[in-house]
Structure 1
Amino acid sequence: MKRIALGLATALTAIGMTAGLAFAAEPAMMTKTAKGNIYTDAQGMTLYTFDKDKAGTSACYEECATSWPALKADAGAKTDGKWTIVDRTDGTKMWAYDGKPLYTYAKDKKAGDMNGEGMGGVWHMAKAS
């Protein structure tokens, strides 16, 4: 019986450690491109910033949000360094890097597409340092 309890305790500890590692992971990844290092979401879709946003506040709603979906943050997500969470007026949460809310672009159809770069002079790929 002690062996089973010890095995269960070890398994639960390992699960907790793995969950903690996943929980602390950045919400995006850096990708090297011909245009420099940029951030992409977990599916490799380019992330963008919007010049009309103020630090920690999104200005992209309704029609804008249809073309530029926010990089959603899970309810239990935690900030980590320059990665922060923005509360949207619709009650959802989104990720921001260095205070700049992050979005994908609806016309980017596959990983590596960068069709939103420079759109309207106000959308830019999220540059990774």
Structure 2
Amino acid sequence: MKHIAKSWKALLVTAALTLPTMAFAADPGMVKGGMMTDHKGMTLYTFDNDAGGKSACTGKCAENWPPLKATEADKAEGKWSIIKRDDGTMQWAFDGKPLYYFVQDKKPGDMTGDKKMDKWHILQGPKM
């Protein structure tokens, strides 16, 4: 009986560790410390020059601020949406704001792009 109980505990621990990963595999963002991140913990940003659910960050801008790309298979719901960029690629948006990374953020939790040029901002998570 002890062996079965230990096996059951191991199964529960495995499920607890696996399910959150599976749940976020297709989800573009998570709330971490009040800010939105991707499923790897990388900070997501918005750009003040974007308007009407359209990205204004192209060319050299997009090299420094890579878009959070979406695929044809991705499905958006709630405040999440997917926009089509001028180059034909798809990009995630939250509450109508296209989302980006910053090339100088090297590891999860880095926020070096916040308030750059007073136009780039960390995406804040929903208030709980």
Give the TM-score normalised by the residue count of structure 2.
0.77
Percentage of identical aligned residues? 51
Q: Tell me if 1:43 matches 2:40.
A: yes
Q: Distance in 1 between matches of 2:94 and 2:85?
A: 15
Q: Distance in 2 between matches of 1:40 and 1:23?
A: 11
Q: Cα deviations across residues 48-99 of structure 1 (Å, max 9, x unaligned)?
A: 0000001310000010000000000011212201000010011100000000
* Aligned residues between the structures: 106
Contact 1:71/1:103 (<8 A) preserved? yes
The match for 1:78 is: 75
Give the TM-score normalised by the residue count of structure 1.
0.77
SS at match of 2:121: strand
The match for 1:103 is: 100
Q: Tell me if 1:55 matches 2:56.
A: no
Q: Which amino acid aligns with 2:36?
A: Y
Contact 1:24/1:80 (<8 A) preserved? no
Cα RMSD after superposing both structures: 1.9
Q: Distance in 2 between matches of 1:46 and 1:107?
A: 11
What are structure 1's unaligned runs of at least 5 residues? 1-17
Q: Distance in 1 between matches of 2:69 and 2:102?
A: 13
- Which ranges of 4 or more aligned residues in structure 1 deviate by more than 4 Å? 21-25
What are structure 2's unaligned runs of at least 5 residues? 1-18
Kindly report which structure 2 residues correspond to 1:1-129, keeping only aligned pairs within 5 A, or say none: 25-32=26-33, 37-129=34-126
